[in-house]
Amino acid sequence: MFIVLGATGHTGSVVAETLLAHGQPVRVVVRSIDKGAPWKAKGAEVVVATYDDTKTMHKAFEGTKGGYLLVPPNYQAKAWLAEQQRTMDQAAEAIKASGIPHVAFLSSVGAHIPEGTGPIRAVRYGEQKLGSVAKNLTILRPCSFMENWAPVLGAAKDQGVLPTFLAPEVKIPMISTKDIGWVAAERLMAGGKGRRVVELAGPEEYSPADVAAALSRIFGRAVSAQSAPLSAVVPTLKSFGFSDEAATLFEEMYTAFSRGAVGYEHPDSLVRGRVTLAEALRAMV
């Protein structure tokens, strides 16, 4: 039995579906019965729980041989980083109590860097916390999600403008969440051995200008990448409901990326996905 947390999200859903497609028994943890109904119909066992529900969460981990773990962010939290760390502490308690043999944890590129990385600091804490209790730990460190462009597709289609906090011509690693889910499921089925870091990237690197060009072909109209100053990060994200702390952490992260301060720990050992940027954008559109 494999346990999958975040099964209603982009990566967790792919993990669960891939495991089921390979005939593996799957237990998904969801926040409500309604969210679990589609998974029950697919043959998965469903547990309704949150990390705060310690007793139920501990029981959910029992009897499993591997699990996919992520910490869904609540960007409205005033003390965002502290909340993320508290959730990781609760996850670590469940892992330790259950004795689960193998955990695959969704982290991030740059998690090996001790400071100055904004929200990436939360998953760095998670790596360290889980590393102290997990018998075998596979750490997945993907780069920027291709699906992160989804919120601005409307502006690109209607106005021909693709807003970005990145320099339009600078190529960065991007990966589809489908590739992340596929790799996670494969690693779970293969079993864990000690602490392993798997750094992930897409088939090639892309720039915001590449995204705009791909959208121009999809929409049949000219789309151009328009860079916004980093000083606009906090007010923009706060207008979307982010707390002051969460927005400030993202400003720190974008600043680090713009300076080239965030990258892979082992760039020569990347595991590359197969979903292209154009394929991911077409699916989103």
**In a domain? residue 112:** yes
262, amino acid identity:
V
**In a domain? residue 219:** no
**In a domain? residue 122:** yes
Q: 185 burial class (0-12, 13-18, 19+ CB within 10 angstroms)?
A: buried
Predicted confidence at residue 262, as pLDDT, reads: 93
pLDDT digit string (tens) for 107-153? 999 999 999 999 999 999 999 999 999 999 999 999 999 999 999 99
Predicted confidence at residue 63, as pLDDT, reads: 92
Is residue 211 within 8 Å of 162, Cβ to Cβ? yes
Predicted confidence at residue 148, as pLDDT, reads: 94
Kind plus residue range of the DSSP H or E element containing 283: helix 277-284
Residue 253, CA distances (Å) to 8, 129, 165 in order = 26, 22, 11
**In a domain? residue 206:** no
> Using CA of residue 70, residue 37, residue 148, residue 86, what is the dihedral sign?
negative
**Which pLDDT tens digits describe the chain residue by residue (285 residues)?**
999 999 999 999 999 999 999 999 999 999 889 999 999 999 999 999 988 888 888 899 999 999 999 988 899 999 999 999 999 999 999 999 999 999 999 999 999 999 999 999 999 999 999 999 999 999 999 999 999 999 999 999 999 999 999 999 999 999 999 999 999 999 999 998 999 999 999 999 999 999 999 999 999 999 999 999 999 999 999 999 999 999 999 999 999 998 889 999 999 999 999 999 999 999 999
Helix, strand, or coil (residue 68): strand
Predicted confidence at residue 71, as pLDDT, reads: 86
**In a domain? residue 155:** no
Is residue 61 within 8 Å of 67, Cβ to Cβ? yes
According to DSSP, the β-strands at 2-5 and 26-30 are parallel
**In a domain? residue 64:** yes
Number of structural domains the chain divides into: 1
**In a domain? residue 76:** yes
Residue range of the domain that includes 33? 2-146+176-201+262-273
Distance CA 258, CA 202 (A): 20
The backbone torsions φ and ψ at residue 92, rounded to the nearest 5 degrees and listed phi first, read: -65, -35
DSSP letter (8 states) at residue 262: -
Predicted confidence at residue 250, as pLDDT, reads: 96
DSSP letter (8 states) at residue 151: G
**In a domain? residue 244:** no
Distance CA 29, CA 44 (A): 10
Residue 26 sits at the vertex; the CA angle it makes with 40 and 107, to the nearest 5 degrees, is: 115
Predicted confidence at residue 51, as pLDDT, reads: 86
CATH number at residue 40: 3.40.50.720
Residue 183, CA distances (Å) to 12, 19, 282 in order = 11, 11, 22
